[in-house]
Amino acid sequence: MKIAMGNDHSAVELKNEIKAYLEGKGYEVVNFGTDSLESCDYPVYGEKVGRAVVAGEADLGILICGTGVGISLAANKVKGVRACVCSEPYSAKLSRMHNNTNVLAFGARVVGSELAKMIVDEWLGAEFEGGRHQRRVDMMMEIENR
Ligand code: RB5
């Protein structure tokens, strides 16, 4: 499985840690940056990762900024993206099972690296349940066409 990762200046260290963690588990990670600690604009990276996922260049995306909020909002502006910001594993897991999220975000200033790994593990380990959830996801995505 290929995972696209993106982040702003606040999350370079956590991105590198999560990237190494995922690679250690056998995932292929495509790094969309930034790798610089210089202040930058999170929408750039949210959009890059969102577009990579929707284009099928990556199966899923993981985004990190200070809070995870801005970068997930930016990704959600890309048609076809369902990004959510999660600070704990339960929502991350359910976001896959019920909402079929294709992008996960969290905040480097909110969660520590061990909690971040747990969030990522639960998210990647969960499967979309389909059924009534598919109808709701379809309804949600229909909003993009109106
Ligand atoms: C950058 O200072 C900060 O605003 C950004 O990382 C993020 O938290 C925005 O949502």
Q: Whose CA is nearest to atom 1 of ligand 1?
A: 66
Of 65, 85, 109, the residue with max ligand 1 atoms within 8 A of its CB, to mutate for a pocket test, comes to 65
The predicted pLDDT at position 86 comes to: 98
The predicted pLDDT at position 103 comes to: 99
Q: Whose CA is nearest to atom 9 of ligand 1?
A: 70
40/144 Cα distance (integer angstroms) = 28
**What are the angstrom distances between the C-alpha of 93 and each of 22, 51, 99, 102, 125?**
17, 23, 10, 12, 8
Instruction: State in Å: Cα 106 to ligand 1 middle.
Output: 11
pTM for the whole structure: 0.98
The predicted pLDDT at position 76 comes to: 98
Question: Sign (positive/negative) of CA torsion 97, 45, 86, 143?
Answer: negative
Q: Mean pLDDT per segment of 10 residues, for the chain of length 146 residues?
A: 98 98 98 98 98 98 98 98 98 98 98 98 98 97 94
The predicted pLDDT at position 31 comes to: 98
The predicted pLDDT at position 89 comes to: 98
18, with CB counted inside 10 A (0-12, 13-18, 19+), is buried
Total residue count of the chain as it appears in this document: 146
137/129 Cα distance (integer angstroms) = 11
Instruction: State in Å: Cα 103 to ligand 1 middle.
Output: 17
Of 8, 39, 40, 41, the residue with max ligand 1 atoms within 8 A of its CB, to mutate for a pocket test, comes to 8
**8 Å CB contact between 101 and 140:** no
| Residues involved in catalysis | 65, 98
6 DSSP β-pair partners: 63
The predicted pLDDT at position 50 comes to: 98
100/126 Cα distance (integer angstroms) = 10
Cβ of residue 70 lying under 6 Å from some atom of ligand 1: yes
Instruction: State in Å: Cα 132 to ligand 1 middle.
Output: 35
